[in-house]
Structure 1
Amino acid sequence: DGGSERFFGGRFKPGWNPDLLLSYNYVFHLMAVSRYAINRIELPGPAMDGAQDYDLAWKVSELARDICYVPYVLYHWRLHAGSTSKNQDSKPYALEAGARAIEAHLQRQGMRAQIHAGRTPFSYKVDYLGWAPSVSVIVPIWGLVDCDRCLESLWQHAKGACHEILVAGPSDLLGARGKSISMAKEKDPRVSAIALEVGKRSRAAVVNSAARRAAGDVVVVLEPDCCIEDDAWIGALVGPLARPEVGCAAPLLLARDGKVAAHGLFLREDGTVVPIEQGLDPENPGYMTFLAHPLDVAAAPGACQALRRKEFLSLGGYREGFGVLASTELCMRLGDTQKLVVSVPYSPVERLGRVRIPEQWASRECRQALMAAHPSIAGGAYRPDLSLNDRNGFFELCR
């Protein structure tokens, strides 16, 4: 800290995380780049003054055959009054240069975007332009949960933002909710019911059948105990799917007490699912401000997932045999095809059920099935220098 020898504010960076990098330059200070790559890019010019390393990171990543992550402490740096880390007003031009670096990267990928100031100092929020897919919301009815508040919230906060709302489930379960669904259809003509054979009670079968009948470019699977609180939620959720490398997007999930239920999921090597930053206030930016920004994660909670419909169906949809981990297993398959799973915190979705994240209570049999299907299971933003307690994803230094 300045002239002292006090070490503080350890930042144990995650591995390659493009959505986090679109929010701020977490790669700063130390990066080794091959001469092969340097010789094949345009080096940062005056327009990138203050963000040369940010611009360089993006340009190199676009042609790199591989990006290697070194999970060790390799440097310390001195914080002084003129440092942007301590005083964001010391180099105001750096913030603008960083936005230009992001915009230029996306343009090179054939995308247009507006770059806004993010929630924390020297961070950014990307709004994708020219991306307005038709969206089908699937509300699967496969248990005893009522869907009244979910459908009401969709009517209030998804006007014009989605093409159709499909309430799908076994015919007997839909019949038990006939009055609620009929009232929703009278109020909102986008609502329709898809009755399946009584024997098809698994969530995977319900969602897969509905996805085959959906008309949207994107399907949003939304559990019936979830409520929408923000008119901008669909735009914020499907925005990252404008990038072809993103396979699944999920919102920040809140529990009924208003605390964070999950900002995406970690997976331990034994198949245990750990919700990231569970129990924090949503206003808390979290470790390295992860909670304030989109984050590429190992998996997304099944409570709400947005996926391209054709891609979802080409992968075979959700698979049977994984129980509550079927949506987690789909994320693993997306990862196997080099697709990203991103958690987006801008428009949270509230889950009213008593169990925040059913995946974290998966049976041993489900976890074993997941490990058998995906042996290299640990992933996401995990760092060996950070510890996670058994049931939530608080980041803290290992003792």
Structure 2
Amino acid sequence: MQRELYEVEKDRFDLKDSSLYHLQGTWPKDHKPEAVLDGEKLPAAISAQERVSALERFKDLDLVNGERVQMEIKLPDLEGKKKLVVYAVKGGKRIQWFAVSAAQLYRKQGKPQYFIESIEVESAEKICRVRGWAAFNRPLTIRLEDRSRKEIPCEITRLKRVDVQNQYQETEIDEKSGFFFEFHYDNVKEFYIVFEAGNVRTLRLVHLQPQKRLAEKAAVYFRKGSRYMKLHGAAALTGKVFGKVMNRKNRPVDYSKWIVKHLPDKAELAEERKTKFSWNPKFSIVIPLYKTPEKYLQQLVDSIEAQTYGNWELCLSDGSGVDSPLTDYLAGLEKSDERIRVIRNDQALQIAENTNAAMEAATGDFIVFADHDDEMTSDALFQCVKALNENPEIEVLYSDEDKMSMDGHKFFQPHFKPDFNIDLLCTVNYICHLFVVKKEIVDQIGMLKKEFDGAQDYDFVFRCVEAAGREKIHHIPRILYHWRCHEDSTAENPESKMYAFDAGARAIKAHYDRIGVPVEIEKGEYLGLYRTKFLWEEKPLISIIIPNKDHIDDLKRCIDSIEEKATYRNYEYVIVENNSTEDETFAYYKELEASNPKAHVVYWDGIFNYSAINNFGASHAKGEYLLLLNNDTEIISPDCLEQLLGYCMRPDVGAVGARLYYEDDTVQHAGVVIGFGGIAGHCFVQQKRDATGYCHRIICAQDYSAVTAACMMVKREAFDKVHGLSEEFQVAFNDIDFCLRLGKAGYLVVYNPYAELYHYESKSRGLEDTPEKVARFNREIASFEKHWPEILRDGDPYYNPNLTLESQDFSLKRI
């Protein structure tokens, strides 16, 4: 039998009536509550928890015999009282659910309330980060104090928390009830977080000493363990502890151990050296030098000479000038291997012209680019020639890469990249190394341009991929390149080369200019990231298609957010009424159509079929662009429609998705990967709103195989070309199937993180909790597998096979 821990997870006093005590948590099903204060039974009302956060939903997957509840207890005067105990009662048997001293309750009653969600302490860096929320019925200030009650200067960021507002239904609280701060401490061992409203205040002590923090954790585990043992016995507790210790599934993978297992060993390298290919192209490795430390250059040369594929030449251009410190060393290199060629220059050269000098000397079929102090893995060229023999049409190749310590012994921060992704490339130069291009492409587009020095490779990559076309660009999902990090390298210290980021913005703008798309390029949230703002002159009509069944509070919030916030005004609403039963719903429709000329209600009389309902709505839409939108969404960014439309108006784009949040400000959608959960799943689910994800992917505009139709803008022409959503998928996977069919038709599907909305979940449809619904869901899984076996077998091209499908955070696949 499933052994579960039923516990109170949140408790608080009512902010309007301080005699009401609210509890939330997990509760054994079919049990009645009994609240007892010093032997006296108190009134206690229990009900299903109305609003459940994304994290709670995730935890509830393991909840079989329990349910999530909220309880309200009416307390008498607490003076002189000792203890409140709450029991779950069934058939004469009582289980203690919760206990608290009356003194603790008395201290909380009528005071500001708070909840600490996370405390992170980095002892080495002396940094403490705290995140949580606080609420009261009067304006609330938050500050830090030391043990002597002296205020500690610290910037505290206040955050909007819709979920906390929803929790306090009895009164209005500040919408910015969330808070976050980063405290840089020195000799402080502990501090207080002070929540204050006038002369009323609550304190929370935070320990910074490792032993004190460990003791706090131990106390929490002891309390949980004691309660679990009371419920299920000592044997069950022992089994649970053993399972926790043995379960390594959720532990992060150590990359330093992972890479050792994934680099070829001596036997594999020996086999590679024996391999015979039908085509043996020559690779010209071009490297610009500028007063390069000899030991690093020698390590690079050693890594090239260790290649298991031998048809290469190394072209070294020394741009150090007439008094180069490398002269003698390079002369010795040239003599040591006839495949090494040195180009000497009489004057110091900038990076572009220095690289060009090496390229001019190249005689190979393909040009390989590397920096003067990095290293290639021994199988780098072998993997390239293997790919070329498998597909001789390839004209551009690139690989995954990682970073390497100065001594060359530590490997870290791997960058596992997607297959070619033009919109990610327009956000960040994700291709970097290893980069290989056919010599014929170079002859066609020209060499590096010195006006882009600092981002000359970025501009060059754009021109190469434009000339090759996406069908002839190949990604090798293996670490073939180690990028050495030192203080002056943009790899670890971006601020050291600010000019490079300015040049990067110009490189992206030049790309768009060449393909005839009007844009403005802005720097992103971090150096090296960029945002594209499209400058289309046309302002086409957007048809916002919203299926709806009752729940007019959701629909009204959705429409009101657009009416009040959206800065783009050329749109219409097509509300698809779907079998509502409440009179208030139809009254709202009538009022909406009378008051808003943009709104039209159309009536769907069939059974619930999400695809058919949206197709029906599209048949009544007048716009060139369709916005499929759930009724339980709320736009956040005023330029949300422009953000979606900007990408969607590009000729190569079929659909655009948004960044969606749950009401507790965690990520609900940041793109879709085929393979998550066995079929498909959203990326970075439950990551905090300010998180940026693996390689900043949450905040990067990029192409994906699919995006959710909870908010998806579609070009009408593309929608019609693929005949809309497939009605074979009544509830599940219809948006995924639709996006894959757009991709098959030649369109890109783009995720734009700057179109932001809340998504409050599909309350109107309910769960897949009946035999009929489960059977339908299983049929739709089978249909999806039948239609898309290749991508399920081969993997999502916009993901990476080295990353796990067991979670949605882009973490490493287990060894």
C-alpha RMSD of matched pairs (Å): 2.6
1:291 offset after TM fit, Å? 0.6
2:187 corresponds to which residue?
Answer: none
2:729 corresponds to which residue?
Answer: 322
**Which has the larger displacement, 235-244 or 329-338?**
235-244
Matching of residue 180 in structure 1 with residue 588 in structure 2 = yes
Distance in 2 between the 1:143 and 1:297 partners? Answer: 33
1:304 corresponds to which residue?
Answer: 711
1:104 corresponds to which residue?
Answer: 510
Distance in 2 between the 1:34 and 1:113 partners? Answer: 30
1:238 corresponds to which residue?
Answer: 645
Where do 1:13-162 residues align within 5 Å? 13-64=417-468, 65-131=471-537, 132-141=539-548, 146-158=554-566, 160-162=568-570
Instruction: With the length of structure 2 as denominator, give the TM-score of the two structures.
Output: 0.46
- Conserved? CA contact 1:128–1:242, under 8 Å: no
Q: Secondary structure at the match of 1:313?
A: helix
**Partner amino acid for 1:156?**
E
**Partner amino acid for 2:533?**
D
**Partner amino acid for 1:84?**
T
Query: Residue by residue, what CA displacement relative to the aligned partner does 1:25-44 show, whole Å, maximum 9, x if unpaired?
Result: 01113111011211111323
Q: Of 318, 334, 353, which aligns to 2:761?
A: 353
The alignment of Structure 1 onto Structure 2 pairs a total of residues equal to: 396
Task: Determine which structure has greater relative contact order: mean sequence separation of CA pairs < 8 Å that are 6+ residues apart, divided by chain length.
Answer: 1
Q: Secondary structure at the match of 1:396?
A: coil
Where do 1:185-264 residues align within 5 Å? 185-196=593-604, 198-199=605-606, 201-264=608-671
1:78 offset after TM fit, Å? 0.7
2:410 corresponds to which residue?
Answer: 6
- Conserved? CA contact 1:291–1:345, under 8 Å: yes
**Partner amino acid for 1:82?**
D
Distance in 2 between the 1:161 and 1:78 partners? Answer: 50
Matching of residue 393 in structure 1 with residue 393 in structure 2 = no
Distance in 2 between the 1:168 and 1:30 partners? Answer: 51
Instruction: With the length of structure 1 as denominator, give the TM-score of the two structures.
Output: 0.92
1:358 offset after TM fit, Å? 10
- Conserved? CA contact 2:549–2:579, under 8 Å: no
Query: Residue by residue, what CA displacement relative to the aligned partner does 1:133-177 show, whole Å, maximum 9, x if unpaired?
Result: 321111112576742211221211235434211111346569762
**Which has the larger displacement, 179-188 or 314-323?**
179-188
- Conserved? CA contact 1:79–1:86, under 8 Å: yes
Task: Could you tell me which runs of 5 or more consecutive residues in structure 1 were left unpaired when the two chains were aligned.
Answer: none
Q: 1:19 to 1:209 in 2, by over 3 A?
A: same
Distance in 1 between the 2:746 and 2:413 partners? Answer: 33
2:801 corresponds to which residue?
Answer: 384
- Conserved? CA contact 1:301–1:359, under 8 Å: no
Q: Secondary structure at the match of 1:96?
A: helix
Distance in 1 between the 2:812 and 2:608 partners? Answer: 43
- Conserved? CA contact 2:549–2:580, under 8 Å: no
- Conserved? CA contact 1:135–1:161, under 8 Å: no
**Partner amino acid for 2:800?**
R
- Give the number of the structure whose alpha-carbon radius of gyration is greater: 2
**Partner amino acid for 1:169?**
E
Distance in 1 between the 2:788 and 2:522 partners? Answer: 38
**Which has the larger displacement, 171-180 or 258-267?**
171-180
Q: 1:358 to 1:263 in 2, by over 3 A?
A: farther
Task: Could you tell me which runs of 5 or more consecutive residues in structure 2 were left unpaired when the two chains were aligned.
Answer: 1-404, 769-773
Q: 1:346 to 1:352 in 2, by over 3 A?
A: same
- Conserved? CA contact 1:135–1:163, under 8 Å: yes
Q: 1:310 to 1:55 in 2, by over 3 A?
A: same
Q: 1:243 to 1:42 in 2, by over 3 A?
A: farther
Q: Give the strand-richer structure, 1 or 2.
A: 2
Distance in 1 between the 2:724 and 2:453 partners? Answer: 46
